[in-house]
Amino acid sequence: MLDHASALVTFSGSGGGDWIVEDIRAVVGAPLPPTERLSIETGPVLHLAQCAWSLRGVISHLRYTTRDEAALLGALQPPLGRPEATRGALIPITKSTTWWDLPQDERRAIYEERSRHTSIGLDYLPRIARRLHHSRELGEPFDFLTWFEFAPEHEDAFDDLVARLRGSEEWRYVEREVDMRLSRAG
């Protein structure tokens, strides 16, 4: 998969993707229709009529991360596609209008100084690979699509990671969240 800035990525629920959907459930708000497989494609996608649903996001620049935090993340973050990382998770979320109406300094304070979003994520590196996709500007139903990959023995750690984030002040602004767990096919 491409890793450069501003690449469009489409996650589609369909019969023919590379990832088998093991579980899909709504954490908050409306669910997504069930699907057997998930496909992940970069660039424009033309066969959407064959999909149960399709979610698009863009890989983009960091929005809250300071230089020191970015350096730590850069040193510890594993790439996607590790052979041992046969489990995946797709977590689409939407934040409330209240969140988006907050000024940048207050969103940053909630995100990191009070919710420790980056710090919590660092606790699970390099076990859990992560890539964030921005969807809000595309007029999509979710604001963000976060894709994770990890080895089966780290699924408990992943559960722990998402539970800590869901307990944070930042998550009070999440009004829709779906948690989809997957296994790499073949």
Strands 8-14 and 19-28: unpaired
Q: Which stretch binds a second copy (CB under 8 A): 9-17, 21-29, 99-107, 123-131?
A: 99-107
Say how far apart CA 180 and CA 34 lie, in whole Å.
10
Query: CB neighbours of 81 closer than 8 A, spacing ≥ 6?
Result: 1, 149
123 lines the binding site for a second copy (CB under 8 A)? no
Q: Which stretch binds a second copy (CB under 8 A): 62-70, 83-91, 146-154, 165-173?
A: 62-70
103 lines the binding site for a second copy (CB under 8 A)? yes
138 lines the binding site for a second copy (CB under 8 A)? yes
46 lines the binding site for a second copy (CB under 8 A)? no
Residue 59 main-chain phi, psi, to 5 deg: -75, 125
119 lines the binding site for a second copy (CB under 8 A)? no
42 lines the binding site for a second copy (CB under 8 A)? no
Q: Which region holds residue 67: left if phi is over 0, alpha if psi is between -120 and 50, else beta?
A: alpha
Tokens of 25: 């459930």
**Residue written as token pair 């510890």:** 76
Using CB under 8 A as the criterion, which residues of the chain lie in contact with a second copy when the complex forms?
A: 5-6, 8, 58, 60-67, 69-70, 97, 100-101, 103-106, 108, 134, 136-139
